[in-house]
Amino acid sequence: MKAVVMAGGEGSRLRPLTIGRPKPMVPLVDKPVLGHILELLKYHGITEVVITLQYLPSVIQDFYGDGSALGLNITYVVEEMPLGTAGGVKNAAAHLNDTFLVISGDALTDFNLQAAVQHHITAGALATLAVYPVPNPLEYGAVVSDENGNITQFLEKPDWSAVRSDRVNTGIYVLEPAVLDYIPDDVAYDFSTELFPDLLQRGERLQAYVAEGYWCDVGTISEYMRASADLISGKVWLPQPLGATAAAEAVEPSREIPGERQGNTGGTPGFSLPFPRSSPTRRDLILGADVEIAADARIDGPVYLGNAVKIKEGVTIQGPCVVRDYTIVDRYSRLEHCVVWRNTYIGETCELLGAIVCRQCSLKSGTIAYEDVVIGDNCVLDENCVVHPDVKLWPNKRIEPGAVVRESIIWGSRGRRSLFGRAGVSGVVNVDFTPEFAAKLGSSLGANLPRGSYVVINRDSHRSSRMLIRALMSGLSSAGVDVWDLGEVPVPVARHFVRTNPSAAAGVHVRLSPLDQRVVDIRFMDSQGLDQSRIAERSVERSFSREDFRRAFLDEVGQIDYPADPTAGYIESFVAGVNRDRIRATAPHVHPQLVVDTSHGLGGETMATVLNLLEVDYLPLNGPKLGALRDQFRHQLQHMAKIMGVLDAGVGVKLDVDGERVFLIDERGVVLDDLTAALLLLELAMYANPGAKVALPAVLPRAFETVVDRYDGQIVFTQSELRDLMRAADGDVLFATDGAGHFIFPDLQPVSDGLLATVRLLEYLGLRQAAVSEIVADLPHFFMAHHRVDCPWEAKGTVMRLLNQSYQGDGVVTIDGLKIHFGTEEWVHIGPNPEQPLFEIRAEAADSERATALVKEHGDQLMQWIVASDR
């Protein structure tokens, strides 16, 4: 039997480890990643190996030759251009005449490959995919299969709302030669995103083999560190144990090898596995040949010391730690949870704390490298250098004595695990969000935009936002992108400016978070003024993590412009779309018609201008921004309600500081909760426009459907995130709301606009000729309950799989998780929170007691699954 090893990867996410070497040749403890795969193949009786190459092919060819030194017969097939995973295998079709195995050359695994082949033959499938449960399936291709192992669906890098399984495609396949007929010649073609979905659609039989054991896609720096630690901690079974004398040592098994049994498989042609085999082992200190360790050195494992490593006096090593061949660690240095490649010198009193040091480096005395630092090949750090966390030094760099390196060389940034959340990119000022970070973020955005295009930027009034936005503009300019700086304007104004200017390719808003005054949110908009799509966010995040930015030439650096009156176009379009007659009819005996509190925010001046142009009788509170922030927002809302209680006013509106959300108070001084306020505006909008279409999240109560049905309207159900609501409203939709203070009236623009919502409210009240409290009293009643269940990140995928297996049929809707209908009056929605380790459970029923019981019942079920997954 033959195996095809895919080894053409460039490994851009592993830079600078992969500069000068292909990804499969990155060393993992005692040999390259590819070496571990080749040993596994040999152990399972596969000695005929075809290796597909593309990036730096000669490095692999020169290292392994014809494979005879390993007891293998290796054939190389080089791609002239990148052909993708499937295209690369098709390129090797001339060597594949029988059932064959495909495996990635840049992953670490100890799967029982023979069992996978036997499963494939027994099932009679065209293709069998080895799948493996992982804690977080979002960055992989998830595979959904039935109880017989037949694959029913592929989900490529799903978000949590789309997760149906925690089992992911490992890139290990058993294939029949007929599969090659479905792959086009000489074009880039992928197994997971193209071939397998096509075969599934054609009705071909695809099987999922649920592999046991260990698997790690060594695709990022963090995964590389994890794989290194797991290898020396005994979590991975190896055909050839680590260390010079390991093979002769008697070891104690720590776990059963998956699929192990005596004898061979008894049915796999040309494929025999000599059982039993040793289990993974745990040894605190693994030594190569000729290692020298000073008597007073302190080593706490697990630690691997390669051939001829020298550990001098007073050295402390705290595992997991790898020190490869011919490296010297000089006196009184301290190494903790780090990886040091071969031929490197670590001087006296150095500290490596969670760092990676590549080949042939020299770190002089007193150098300190902190967590997630990567120092590339042939770097020299002179005495007393300090390299801050997440810094990456590209190969062949020299750092002068005493330098404090806070940004990567060449690109200038710090690393970050995940950039985007629901509020955009968030972080603590001058801790997570430094000017360097903001400049790198601007460069990442600019790298994904056309040269010479414009980015519209606005911010709140705080000095931290001003500081960060200047750094962000520098990053954009360095990428050859121009900037329009609008200053302090409401977010709806900035969105309108982006939408109505053809040169604008994106927008950025910087603000202090309404949830934590130490945190800044940076929110990105697309060319239509809508929140950026998830695809666009991933592109920016990819540029950010790779530190692979576009740099403009001297005369192509972007310019920064300051529009004279950025609100003018917005106000003109706003006022032109208002029915003034309806506003004049709003409760004519009430003075003022409106009490408005702008929360010292960005919307104050614009709101005042609009209301004055419309001749609205209103009473302003707080007025234009005075530098105050968002503290005690709810307390201010209650204070406003007391004022409303003694005024002869029609309605009270409080805007948030960005001008996007509104909160309502009726004429009696009663604060309307968010859902009631949303239901009120929906009722008024449908009354004024019967038969209209609205967009609503699937988690809102049935009362919203009742109101729409009352006026023969239509509903477009969406996910709960604001960007999904915006995109659903960008069409023939009259109105959209998330039930949390965001209101969208797309006739101006399909974005949340608190200023427009305020004026629309006045229009509709003028048409309805009724007090707010009277309309609210006639709204349908609803009873909802909400509950949160803590769930470790690593259990989320398992829970989602069990949820989808437990609830199926016509009464189940998969939007933002799972919505389960029980008859016509009750439903439960269960969804994973994308930013926190928990599940959100919402329920509606005929009364509050029953709704509470529903969330408790389903919360208990989730807890059982979570506990079981931890066993």
Q: Which CATH number fits domain 421-561: 3.40.120.10, 3.40.1110.10, 3.20.20.70, 3.40.50.170?
A: 3.40.120.10
DSSP annotation of 191 reads I
pLDDT tens for 366-394 read: 999 999 999 999 898 888 888 999 999 99
Outline which parts of the chain fall under CATH 3.30.310.50: 783-869
DSSP per residue, 588-653: TTSSSSEEEE-TTSTTHHHHHHHHHHTT--EEEES-S--S---TTHHHHHHHHHHHHHHS--SEEE
Give the number of other Cβ atoms within 10 Å of residue 294's Cβ.
Answer: 14
pLDDT tens for 301-353 read: 899 999 999 999 999 999 899 999 999 999 999 999 999 999 898 988 999 99
Q: What is the mean pLDDT of the chain?
A: 86
Q: Provide the sign of the torsion angle of the four alpha carbons 622, 624, 628, 629, taken in this order.
A: positive
What's the one-letter identity of residue 637?
L
CATH 3.40.190.10 fits 2-130+169-232, yes or no: no
What is the pLDDT averaged over residues 7-32? 91
Q: Which two tokens stand for residue 639?
A: 């204070």
DSSP annotation of 257 reads P
Q: Which two tokens stand for residue 758?
A: 């305020």
Helix (H, G, I), strand (E, B) or coil at 155: strand
Report whether pLDDT(247) > 90. no
Give the number of other Cβ atoms within 10 Å of residue 835's Cβ.
Answer: 13
Report whether pLDDT(624) > 60. no
**pLDDT category of residue 246 using cuts at 50, 70 and 90:** very low
Q: Which two tokens stand for residue 454?
A: 């414009």
Distance of CA 503 to the CA centre of its chain: 29
Report whether pLDDT(271) > 60. no
User: CA–CA separation, 496 vs 574, rounded Å?
Assistant: 10
Report whether pLDDT(687) > 50. yes
C-beta of residue 460 within 8 angstroms of C-beta of residue 658: yes
pLDDT tens for 706-736 read: 999 999 999 999 988 898 999 998 889 999 9
User: CA–CA separation, 749 vs 738, rounded Å?
Assistant: 16
Q: Which CATH number fits domain 783-869: 3.30.565.10, 3.40.50.1950, 3.30.310.50, 3.40.50.620?
A: 3.30.310.50
Outline which parts of the chain fall under CATH 3.90.550.10: 2-130+169-232
Beta bridge partners of 696: 717
Provide CATH code, domain 285-405.
2.160.10.10
Outline which parts of the chain fall under CATH 3.40.120.10: 421-561, 571-777
Q: Which CATH number fits domain 571-777: 3.40.120.10, 3.30.450.20, 3.10.20.30, 2.60.40.1530?
A: 3.40.120.10
pTM, to two decimals: 0.58
DSSP per residue, 266-315: SSSTT----S--PPP---SEEE-TT-EE-TT-EEESSEEE-TT-EE-TT-
Outline which parts of the chain fall under CATH 2.160.10.10: 285-405
3-state secondary structure string across 404-444: EECCCECCCCCCCCCCEECCEEEEEECCCECHHHHHHHHHH
C-beta of residue 6 within 8 angstroms of C-beta of residue 175: no
Helix (H) or strand (E) run with residue 535 in it: helix 534-546
pLDDT tens for 724-779 read: 999 998 889 999 999 999 999 999 999 999 999 999 999 999 899 899 999 999 99
**pLDDT category of residue 516 using cuts at 50, 70 and 90:** low
What is the pLDDT averaged over residues 549-565? 91
User: CA–CA separation, 381 vs 409, rounded Å?
Assistant: 13
- The residue among 431, 509, 445 whose CA lies nearest residue 474 is 445
C-beta of residue 733 within 8 angstroms of C-beta of residue 745: no
pLDDT confidence of residue 182: 94
